[in-house]
Amino acid sequence: MIHSRNRRLRVNESIRGLVRENNLTTNDFVMPIFVMEGENKEEPIASMPGIFRRSIDLTVKECKELFSLGVKAVNLYMKVSEHLKDNTGKEAWNKDGLMQNTIRAIKDAVPEMIIMPDVALDPYSIYGHDGIIENGKIMNDATNDALARMSVSHAEAGADIVAPSDMMDGRVQTIREALEDSGFTDVGILSYAAKYASSFYGPFRSALDSAPKDNMEIPKDKKTYQMDFHNSREALNEVFKDIDEGADIIMIKPGLPYLDIVSKVREAIDLPIAVYNVSGEYAMVKAAAQNGWLDNDKTIIESLTCFKRAGADMIFTYFAKEAAILLNR
């Protein structure tokens, strides 16, 4: 006779909900947003159905809707005009730049929205790299100084948390010291501590035209600073260093193919963990759903819940708005 039957706790939805270990809510989501120059402009991103580049006025409108749905944080990316790009990234700390004006506009319209601007030079670089290039090499320390200026500029505009995604060594400490010296002691740092050189970023790079340029004199990819996807122990090394340097939240990117890294880091640290459900993951689900190979709504909720189960506290996802609508039902 069987005395222990696990199926007793799966008999119906009520009891399954009662014993459920992880639950997804709108508080878990951060919505990445692409911003472009202009007014009343919206451009669809072909490789990411349902995602758009928008001008500041329409971005503000979108943020109002997101907040009303319960999505209380956004991650900002700029589509920078070509004539503003160079090898220094100086447009990134222009007090009247597109990012700074976007931060102010969102804060004015939705004061309680948490704004996390991306901190990296690739959208501002003529080379499409996250760092300043000299003699064909990415210059780590010079890039850190630029990222610090960028972060302070974001804080001055009203950012709540800066999110360095560049993977330069020591940049968290440089940014933290710059924020402290400028009086922004309450501005947090969400560090992309374990960001892998991944093929899953393709749609994102096409959205911002931020892929490394085809130039024989510069690195053809980002593998000299982003992590090797073959490695996992290295992720803990990166995470511990960023915590020591003053990171408040740790990011792991990409997401679904890297749940083992999320779990490993969760076991090792107590700080909040963010995970990025990246553009390639989004595009794959959308393509399969459009072809009738997957149930769109069920796959979204299952995928996002898996991040929670692995140990993530927050999820950067292009599904944030869609998932919020589903959960609010």
Q: Are 33 and 77 in contact (CB under 8 A)?
A: yes
End-to-end CA distance of the chain: 43
pLDDT exceeds 70 at position 229: yes
Q: For residue range 231-268, what is the model confidence (pLDDT) as tens digits?
A: 999 999 999 999 999 999 999 999 999 999 999 999 99
Find the mean pLDDT for residues 175-203.
96
Band (pLDDT 50/70/90 cuts) for residue 288 is: very high
- 9 belongs to a structural domain: no
Q: Are 205 and 222 in contact (CB under 8 A)?
A: no
Spot the catalytic one: 85, 107, 195, 264: 195
Q: For residue range 56-106, what is the model confidence (pLDDT) as tens digits?
A: 999 999 999 999 999 999 999 999 999 999 999 999 999 999 999 999 999
- 227 belongs to a structural domain: yes
Band (pLDDT 50/70/90 cuts) for residue 219 is: confident
- 64: how many CB neighbours lie within 10 A of its CB? 14
* Dist. CA 268–CA 236, nearest whole Å: 8
Q: Are 231 and 280 in contact (CB under 8 A)?
A: no
Find the mean pLDDT for residues 26-44.
97
- 16 belongs to a structural domain: no
Average pLDDT, the chain: 95
Please list the residues that pair with 115 across neighbouring strands.
74
Tokens at 223, concatenated: 């593998």
Tell the burial category of 299 from Cβ atoms under 10 Å away from its Cβ (0-12, 13-18, 19+): middle
Tokens at 53, concatenated: 């580049």
pLDDT exceeds 70 at position 21: yes
- 199 belongs to a structural domain: yes
Q: What is the pLDDT of residue 204?
A: 84
Q: Which residue has the higher pLDDT, 65 or 205?
A: 65
Collect contacts of 224-229 with beta carbons under 8 A, ≥24 apart.
224/138, 225/130, 225/131, 225/138, 225/140, 225/166, 225/167, 225/168, 226/167, 226/195, 226/196, 226/197, 226/198, 227/167, 227/194, 227/195, 227/196, 227/197, 228/196, 228/197, 229/196, 229/197, 229/198
pLDDT exceeds 90 at position 108: yes
The reply, when asked if residue 238 is annotated as ligand binding, is yes
- 64 belongs to a structural domain: yes
Spot the catalytic one: 85, 107, 222, 253: 253
- 13 belongs to a structural domain: no
Q: Are 47 and 279 in contact (CB under 8 A)?
A: yes
Q: Are 155 and 179 in contact (CB under 8 A)?
A: yes
- 243 belongs to a structural domain: yes
DSSP notation for 81-114:
-GGG-BSS-GGGG-TTSHHHHHHHHHHHH-TTSE
Tokens at 5, concatenated: 């039957």
Place of tokens 């948390």: 161
Tokens at 168, concatenated: 């330069």
Q: What is the pLDDT of residue 272?
A: 98
Cα dihedral sign for 257, 261, 266, 269? negative
- 297 belongs to a structural domain: yes
Q: Are 235 and 264 in contact (CB under 8 A)?
A: yes
pLDDT exceeds 80 at position 217: no
Structural domain boundaries, residue 288:
23-328
Longest dimension (CA), the chain: 77
Domain count across the chain: 1
Report field, pTM of the whole predicted structure over 0.85: yes
- Is there a catalytic annotation at residue 286? no
* Dist. CA 123–CA 208, nearest whole Å: 7
Band (pLDDT 50/70/90 cuts) for residue 214 is: low
Q: What is the pLDDT of residue 98?
A: 98
Closest CA to 307 of 254, 270, 271: 254
Cα Rg of the chain (Å, integer): 20
Q: What is the CATH number of the domain that holds 159?
A: 3.20.20.70
Q: What is the pLDDT of residue 242?
A: 98
